[in-house]
């Protein structure tokens, strides 16, 4: 309105009476000049104002479009597209919680303390004994803690530490050792750790080293049934089973190499690794029971189960985990459908083992011998809530909710394994008694990760921050009871708090990594792009097809696949 009034006052100069006192010709010329000038000025002003208004509308439209994109992103793929270092190239649409940032830094500080202690007192050896301040070669001198820590260092952005570890791998790591190695432990820690370091960094040194150790393990699968022996000499290739199993192979030890060896074939283009480990599943599927539950001992000559315990704890656990995760690793295609089908069969069997305590109604998973159920659950079995939650996504709505609810109930029980002791750290296993809920059995704690692992999955899949709070409480209990000047130690007894003298390599590989990710944005190691092996080493998901297109080598089809998935260079959360 102000502009309109100003314009009207100016038009009085166009009135001829204004120029009566001036000569006629001059007056008319002046009138024409002034009127034309005002017409031009008004038009220019109007155009400028229209341009400003259009620009303003465009800016508002852009803002609204950005809001719409954010809403779509939140409702759709929360993970984004992972870059080579595991961080999404898209910015997180949910602001990073200041409390999460603070807690994540505390976990990172714990990793630095553990790693620095290892560097100082046990560099290049398998594990640190913090109280005596020396190293011990629990796995034949393969630098287990160092290799187990590579991806944790990388994800946390500890670049200097990662580079020092990389130099040790390049110059000092030697697998030609006259050592009787566990095929299972060497696969999940060393092969898995090296493959994860390769997938994150794209440094071919790690892939070459992974192939070297895998070649030394391969003779273990040379049995009449293809079920591997569980012990092998790394220098000579002689394989056998431990004497205490009566000559049998162990279920978890024989069925927990699939992720790593399939990934190795995908990245090298050599199918021999995948063929060895997939033959195990083919053999077990021939006599797979209706409830999907296998005893922990398998005869490597006949390929059939021996009478023994059925458990989701020690010696059984990760077999079931890998049935689900190979399906995820292959991007859930028809080529890996049988893994999912076997896993779902096993979940029906798991439901038959579920019981609840009185009076508090804690949900737990029994162990089974023959037709008898035993009211015992290992802390190792606390990986199951996370596995079940992850697998619930493959069911229809009703079944999905049923299994997710079961996962949440089991996680509550596992959390109470911690909360029920004076130190707030869990024992190794628990027994359940009518009217008395639970009591700790074997009372040591060796810094295990399984409960924190499940809390990580449940937080990622539900967004419920309660799981972050539980994880933080567990972390604080580790800080209070296990942190000493020269590293972290387990407890000989969670009731008395008496300390042991071992910093397990999986504390750095798993426990601290899952805690760090529990307080990181979901775009850091997105579950849409990565699958964790049983030692918490993230391995990239690669689509599998029946015609073998997944075996393209590290420079060919693998990169083509990455382009198809739209992966771009990203940044770590701490960059």
Q: What would the DSSP string read from start to end of 82-120?
A: B-TTSBBSSPPSSPPPHHHHHHHHHHHHHHHHHHHHHHH
Burial 184-204, CB ≥16 within 10 A → b, else e: bbbbbbbbbbbbbbbbbbeee
pLDDT-based confidence at residue 27 (cuts at 50, 70, 90):
low
Residue 373, SS3 per DSSP: strand
Q: Which of 71-80, 131-140, 347-356, 549-558 shows the lowest mean pLDDT across its residues? A: 71-80
Structural domain contains residue 446? yes
| pLDDT for 53 beyond 70 | no
- Indicate the pTM of the whole model: 0.82
- The answer to whether residue 142 scores a pLDDT higher than 70 is yes
Residue 375: inside a domain: yes
Is residue 553 helix, strand or coil?
A: helix
Residue 88 belongs to some domain of the structure: no
Q: Is the pLDDT of residue 229 over 70?
A: yes
346 domain-assigned: yes
Could you give the percent of the chain with pLDDT greater than 70?
A: 78
Q: How far apart are CA 85 and CA 528, in angstroms?
A: 15
480 is a domain residue: yes
Is residue 28 in some structural domain? no
Three-class SS state of 231: strand
Predicted local distance difference test score (pLDDT) of residue 553: 47
Residue 572 lies in a domain: no
pLDDT digit string, tens, across residues 526-544: 999 999 999 999 999 999 9
Containing domain of residue 527, as a range?
101-540
User: Residue 94 — very low, low, confident or very high, per pLDDT cuts 50/70/90?
Assistant: low
On whether the CB atoms of residues 249 and 241 are closer than 8 A, the answer is yes
In whole angstroms, give the CA distance from residue 305 to residue 294: 7
Give the residue with greater pLDDT, 101 vs 96: 101
Mean pLDDT of the chain: 86
At residue 541, φ and ψ (nearest 5 deg) are: -70, 130
- Residues 232-290 have pLDDT tens digits of 999 999 999 999 999 999 999 999 999 999 999 999 999 999 999 999 999 999 999 99
User: Which pLDDT band, with edges at 50, 70 and 90, does 561 fall under?
Assistant: very low
CB 539 within 8 Å of CB 192: yes
Question: What are 42-51's pLDDT values in tens digits?
Answer: 554 444 445 4
Reported as a pLDDT band with limits 50, 70 and 90, residue 409 is very high
319 burial level (CB within 10 Å; 0-12, 13-18, 19+): buried
CATH number at residue 364: 1.50.10.10
pLDDT band at 80 (very low <50, low <70, confident <90, very high): very low
Strand partners, 367: 374
Query: Please, which pLDDT band fits residue 231 given cuts at 50, 70 and 90?
Result: very high
In a domain, 557, yes or no: no
Q: Which residues participate in catalysis according to the annotation?
A: 185, 317, 428, 450
Nearest C-alpha neighbor of 230 from the set 187, 282, 274: 187
| The total number of structural domains that make up the chain | 1
Distance CA 268, CA 352 (A): 42
Q: How far is CA 435 from the centre of its chain?
A: 38
C-alpha 283/C-alpha 304 separation (Å) is 8
End-to-end CA distance of the chain: 52
- DSSP 8-state class, residue 230: S
CB neighbours of 567 closer than 8 A, spacing ≥ 6? 81, 82, 83, 84, 89, 529
Distance CA 240, CA 571 (A): 45
In 194-301, at which residue ranges do the beta strands (DSSP E only) sit? 231-233, 239-240, 249-250, 297-298
């Amino acid at each position: 309105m102000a502009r309109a009034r100003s314009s009207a006052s100016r038009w009085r100069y166009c009135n001829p009476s204004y120029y009566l006192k001036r000569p006629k010709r001059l007056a008319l010329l002046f009138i024409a000049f002034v009127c034309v000038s005002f017409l031009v000025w008004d038009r220019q002003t109007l155009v400028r104002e229209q341009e400003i208004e259009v620009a303003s509308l465009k800016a508002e439209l852009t803002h609204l479009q950005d809001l719409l994109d954010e809403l779509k992103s939140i409702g759709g793929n929360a993970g984004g597209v992972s870059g080579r270092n595991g961080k999404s190239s898209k910015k997180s649409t949910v602001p990073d919680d200041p409390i999460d940032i603070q807690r994540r830094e505390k976990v990172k500080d714990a990793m630095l303390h553990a790693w620095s202690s290892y560097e100082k007192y046990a560099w290049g050896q398998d594990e640190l004994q913090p109280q005596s301040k020396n190293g011990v070669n629990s796995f034949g001198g393969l630098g287990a803690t160092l290799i187990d820590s590579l991806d944790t260092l990388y994800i946390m952005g500890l670049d200097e530490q990662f580079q020092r570890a990389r130099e040790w791998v390049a110059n000092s790591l030697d697998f030609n050792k006259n050592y009787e190695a566990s095929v299972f432990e060497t696969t999940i820690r060393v092969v898995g750790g090296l493959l994860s370091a390769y997938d994150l960094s794209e440094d071919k040194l790690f892939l070459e080293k992974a192939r070297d150790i895998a070649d030394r393990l391969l003779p273990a699968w040379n049995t009449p049934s293809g079920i591997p022996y569980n012990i092998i000499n790394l220098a000579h290739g002689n394989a056998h089973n431990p004497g205490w199993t009566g000559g049998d192979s162990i279920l978890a030890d024989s069925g927990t190499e699939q992720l790593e060896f399939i990934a190795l074939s995908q990245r090298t283009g050599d199918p021999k690794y995948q063929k060895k480990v997939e033959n195990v599943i083919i053999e077990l599927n021939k006599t797979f029971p209706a409830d999907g539950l296998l005893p922990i001992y398998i005869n490597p000559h006949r390929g059939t189960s021996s009478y023994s315990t059925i458990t989701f704890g020690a010696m059984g656990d990760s077999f079931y985990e890998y049935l689900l995760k190979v399906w995820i690793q292959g991007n859930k295609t028809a080529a890996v459908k049988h893994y999912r089908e076997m896993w779902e069969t096993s979940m029906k069997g798991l439901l038959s083992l579920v019981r609840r305590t009185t009076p508090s109604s804690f949900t737990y998973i029994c162990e089974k011998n023959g037709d008898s159920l035993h009211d015992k659950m290992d802390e190792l079995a606390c990986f199951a809530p996370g596995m079940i939650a992850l697998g619930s996504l493959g069911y229809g709505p009703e079944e999905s909710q049923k299994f997710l609810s079961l996962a949440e109930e089991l996680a509550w029980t596992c959390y109470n394994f911690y909360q029920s002791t004076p130190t707030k750290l869990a024992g190794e296993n628990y027994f359940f008694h009518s009217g008395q809920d639970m009591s700790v059995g074997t009372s040591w704690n060796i810094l295990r990760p399984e409960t924190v692992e499940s809390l990580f999955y449940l937080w990622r899949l539900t967004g419920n921050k309660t799981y972050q709070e539980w994880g933080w409480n567990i972390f604080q209990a580790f800080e209070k009871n296990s942190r000493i000047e020269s590293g972290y130690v387990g407890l000989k007894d969670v009731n008395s708090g008496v300390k042991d003298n071992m910093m397990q390599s999986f504390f750095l590989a798993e426990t601290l990594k899952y805690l760090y990710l529990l307080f990181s944005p979901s775009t850091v190691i997105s579950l849409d792009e990565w699958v964790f092996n049983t030692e918490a080493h993230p391995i990239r998901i690669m689509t599998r097809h029946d015609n073998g297109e997944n075996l393209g080598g590290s420079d060919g089809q693998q990169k083509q696949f990455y382009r198809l998935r739209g992966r771009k260079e990203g940044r770590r959360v701490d960059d």
